[in-house]
Structure 1
Amino acid sequence: MLNTDDLRTFLTTHDIVAEIISLPVHTLTVIDAAKAVDTSPDRIVKSLLFLVQDQPVLAIASGTGRVDRRQIAAHYGVGRKRVKLADATTVEKVTGYAVGAVPPFGHIQPLATLIDPGVLQMPEIYAGGGAVDALLRISPLEIMRLTNAIKLDLHAAEDEDA
């Protein structure tokens, strides 16, 4: 399994302006992560792996909201039931990282990536840092540069079941 050392190597190799912050606590929830780095929860982003007709797609969205599978399905022209959140085993197999630690890039294979436009409005965000006790501080524009992510409204409305 990949870890923060692998992510650090990726950052150096690709001249990425970012910082891996090692924390004394696990950051398995958005609230925990925000408290650990003394920031607001909306600056914490999640990198979620979905399977769209069994093909992996990474969705980068604000940690405070739910991702709407219908938006992903519509983008790929498939039914909502063809879009599934990957299980922990699949996440590790496809990205190399454990659930809760997945960074937005540096995976064991290149991934199609979607990013919510709301993430791009912030000058700096915190994402998975390769371990549950690490976060990656980075500009969302740097994520766009590295992943060629497609901007897509991923936010689910409050009453929707994503």
Structure 2
Amino acid sequence: MTPACKILQSQKIAFSIHEYQHDPNVKNFGLEAAEKLGLSVEEVFKTLLVTDDKNFYIAVIPVQYQLSLKKVAAALGCKKLHMADVKDAERLTGYLVGGISPFGQKKRLKTVLDQQATELEKIYVSGGKRGLDIGVHPNALQQVLNAAFADIVDAD
């Protein structure tokens, strides 16, 4: 039971656990999860860390998209953001890259969830380790993390 699962359990949030055999040669963890779990890429979301060099933030977006740093900065009220360093991401969340869950991180960070999630009954996010995804209603994710919904993907 990962910290992500424990948080959801403790808050009595309905979720499902989906495990698969992670291939260590795969670098696109989200697309691997969608493929191995038989899900559409629209349903599987990745958790990304961004920073303005003072603060760190979480962005949760569908795996087939790139994050728009301009849009997420606007949604967070920041001037400019860039992707966080892998070491910082792992240190702050307590998870390895490819297994970073938006839930149960060492430090609660301000979170923005792409608005496309509102169109789905369930989205799948990392459960806290590679090869483990959690299915959860987007509103539950928003509630647990006090996240904002915004258009934060690069649509080009």
Q: Same fold (TM over 0.5)?
A: yes
CA–CA separation in structure 2 for the residues paired with 1:76 and 1:154: 10
Equivalent residue letter for 2:57:
V
CA–CA separation in structure 1 for the residues paired with 2:76 and 2:137: 27
- The number of residues matched between the two structures is 153
Provide the residue aligned with 1:17 in structure 2.
14
Of Structure 1 and Structure 2, which has the larger fraction of its residues in strand?
Answer: 2
CA–CA separation in structure 2 for the residues paired with 1:115 and 1:50: 13
CA RMSD of superposed structures (Å): 1.7
Provide the residue aligned with 1:72 in structure 2.
72
Provide the residue aligned with 2:100 in structure 1.
102
CA–CA separation in structure 2 for the residues paired with 1:7 and 1:105: 5
Provide the residue aligned with 1:33 in structure 2.
33
Q: What's the CA shift for 1:76?
A: 4.1
User: Any unmatched runs of 5+ in structure 2?
Assistant: none
Whether 2:91 is the aligned partner of 1:93: answer yes
Provide the residue aligned with 1:43 in structure 2.
43
Structural mapping, 1:58-69, within 5 Å:
58-69=58-69
The share of aligned pairs that are identical, in percent, is 24
Provide the residue aligned with 2:151 in structure 1.
153
CA–CA separation in structure 1 for the residues paired with 2:76 and 2:39: 34
Equivalent residue letter for 1:85:
M
Equivalent residue letter for 1:13:
S
Q: Deviations over 1:110-140 (max 9, x none)?
A: 1101111111211111111111111111111
Provide the residue aligned with 2:127 in structure 1.
129
Whether 2:125 is the aligned partner of 1:113: answer no
Q: Deviations over 1:33-85 (max 9, x none)?
A: 111111111111011111134201101111111110011223344433xx111
- TM-score, with structure 1 as normaliser: 0.86
Is the partner of 2:67 in helix, strand or coil? coil
User: Any unmatched runs of 5+ in structure 1?
Assistant: none
Provide the residue aligned with 1:54 in structure 2.
54
Is the partner of 1:115 in helix, strand or coil? strand
